[in-house]
Structure 1
Amino acid sequence: MLTVVAPRGELELVISERSGKSVASRQFHKGALRILRPHYLDGSGQVCYVMVNPGGAYLGADLYAIDVEVEGGADLLLTTQSATKIYRTPDSFAEQRMRIQLGERAKLELMPDQLIAYREASYRQNTHITVRPSSCLVMAEIVTPGWSPDGATFRYEELRLRTEIYVETEAGSDLLALDNLLIRPPLADVTGLGFMEGFSHVGSLLVVDSRVDQALADELHTLASAHQAHTGISLTRTIAGSTGLVMRALSNSTEELQRLLGDCSTLLRNRWSGQGPVNLRKY
């Protein structure tokens, strides 16, 4: 018998362009997910929304479903109110399923606070993204381990973060990139040297845009070299003019990864839309 798990939290958000300003044309939430009122951080017309989990954390067997659509010409900055915490999951893993759709000339900056996995936590995150050839996508994410009062690192069980990106054209939908990050700290003693190169924190930057090229990758690599992080950058293939860029950065500091990803985001915002740095201070 097939068991259907009901999401503990559901969120739907559709952003449309109205007279040069991006607005929500549909909002829906249910259960342990909320969204705060919109903010406009500059004069660009970009709207900023903040997702909230009133429960404070993901627990065992929790399922969260998030559906975001940015329609043609609209511009969304989406973040979270605080870090996403994964506590121990003795019965089953916690899971987040996210679906993102971007229309022509749509732009999405997805900038959540860090994901913190505590002792005995298992978590799966599946993100399915569809873009158009003229869409712009910038995603940044940081994964950190939880800490005990005496400063020792908690050993979470497993994190699986899978992101699929498709480019939709008149001819159909083609896979642009599949980013699959699997971290199992308990196996570190087995794998020995080379497991995350001895670092405890990992940051990821994923960019999809027609303006992505090797020159941009080289520039971001140079920018990253000024930070205390072990960084690698790769490019995807090109579909209908759209190319993806993936940066992975390893460090022992959440703040260092925040600075690195923030500097990369600032470079892209300034160059592509004339916007300044994002200030998402939440205290």
Structure 2
Amino acid sequence: MGELALRIGVRSGRSVASHQFHQGALRVLRPHYLDDSGQVCYVVVNPGGAYLGADLFLLDVEVEAGASLLLTTQSATKIYRTPGSFAEQRMTLRLGEGARLELMPDQLIAYREASYRQNTHITVRPTSSLVMAEVITPGWSPDGASFRYEELRLRNEIRVESKDGGIDLLALDNLLVRPPAGDVTGLGFMEGFSHLGSLVVVDARVDQALADELHALTAGHEAHTGISLTRTLAGTTGLVLRSLSDSTEKLNGLLGACTALLRERWHGQEPLNLRKY
């Protein structure tokens, strides 16, 4: 069990924490800055090392107007056996006008007999910029056989708050992964692939041309990829990319290439190098 709250504002041209709270098995490391852009990077840590049955983790993150946050994790999120009840993470994200959030966790690993639910509620403003990437990986046994997790449910609810105070639904992104009994990689399930990558982007600069460019970029990677756009609401649009592969490394490479394009074009930043390994 764990709870974490983090609010990021701007002070003297740099993004800093204006509020921070944690209890239980969640906390953040000291902030650091990867470049001179003023974007602050926080690393979420789970000292317990894994999620277990009936565990509940609550995260509340607010990026105030004009602030920029890169949020990542210290290591992979591991879901072990969950007899009796699923493990759950509930995250609330709020972005102010001109705020920017990059959510770049390490992979989610589901082990044998694991059941997990992840619910993320996101509220952005028309000038906010959100980029979220995630990789789902099945756990492996010592003899190399696939562990058979039970199911993963990931739900992103994205809303846009307009200048007049109205809040409207931009997208509801539901993902259910339930391997068939006996094989997590068989034909008919995820097209025979074992790993899944997701990229969600919400920004006023998202359009069909960007979707086409990202799709062309993914063609150079060993993965099966599809991209869809949301409707445009209050001048902002969402993009959802799904990619299937047979390794975490391949998906990290693909998602890294996509986020590198956005970082350089929109913010003049180098590709991410979190130096965790």
TM bin, normalised by shorter chain, reads: over 0.9
Paired position in structure 2 for 1:71: 64
Instruction: Indicate the residue corresponding to 2:145 in structure 1.
Output: 152
Q: Quote how far apart the aligned CAs of 1:34 are.
A: 0.9
Question: 1:91 Cα shift?
Answer: 1.6
- C-alpha distance in 1 between matches for 2:200 and 2:141: 31
- Residue 208 of structure 1 deviates from its aligned partner by 0.2
Matched, 1:277 2:248: no
Tell me the residue number matched to 1:246. Answer: 240
- Alpha carbon RMSD of aligned pairs, Å? 1.2
Structure 1 residue runs without a partner (length 5+): 1-7
Alignment match of 2:6 (pick from 1, 8, 13) = 13
Residues 15-44 of structure 1: per-residue CA shift (max 9 Å, x gap): 001121100000000000010000100000
Secondary structure at the counterpart of residue 59 of structure 2:
strand
2:262 is the alignment partner of 1:265: no
8 Å Cα contact 1:36-1:51 kept in structure 2: yes
- Is 1:198 the counterpart of 2:192? The answer is yes
Cα deviation for residue 105 of structure 1 reads 0.1
Equivalent position of 2:218 in the other structure? 224
Taking the aligned partners of 1:171 and 1:24, their CA distance within structure 2 comes to: 25
Q: Deviations over 1:120-140 (max 9, x none)?
A: 000000000000000000000
Match of 1:24 in 2: 17
The reply to whether residue 208 of structure 1 matches residue 202 of structure 2 is: yes
Match of 1:95 in 2: 88
In 2, the alpha carbon distance for the partners of 1:152 and 1:204 equals 25
The size of the alignment, in residue pairs, is: 275
CA contact (8 A) 1:188 1:195 kept: no
Match of 1:174 in 2: 168
- The aligned counterpart of 2:105 is 112
The residue type equivalent to 1:261 in the other structure is L
Separation of aligned partners in 2, 1:213 and 1:34: 36
Deviations along 1:205-262, whole A, 9 cap, x unmatched?
A: 0000000000000000000000000000000000011000000000001000000000
The one-letter code sitting in structure 2 at the alignment partner of 1:158 is E
Q: For 1:210 and 1:186, how far apart are their aligned partners in 2? A: 39
- What stretches of structure 2 of length at least 5 have no aligned partner? none
Asked if 1 retains the 8 angstrom alpha-carbon contact of 2:148 and 2:181, the reply is no
User: Which portions of structure 1, spanning 4 or more consecutive aligned residues, are displaced by more than 4 angstroms?
Assistant: none
Q: 1:42 aligns with which of 3, 16, 35?
A: 35
One-letter code of the match for 1:144? Answer: T
Question: Aligned equivalents of 1:188 and 1:226: distance in 2?
Answer: 32
Q: CA deviation at 1:193?
A: 3.9
Measure how far apart 1:282 and its partner are. 1.1
Identity %: 78
Partner of 2:52: 59
Corresponding letter in the other structure for 1:92 = S
TM-score, normalised via structure 2 length = 0.97
What residue number does 1:236 align with? 230
TM-score, normalised with respect to structure 1: 0.95
CA distance in 1: counterparts of 2:269 and 2:211, whole angstroms: 20
Is the CA contact (8 Å cut-off) linking 1:108 and 1:136 kept in structure 2? yes
Which residue in the other structure is 2:249 paired with?
Answer: 255
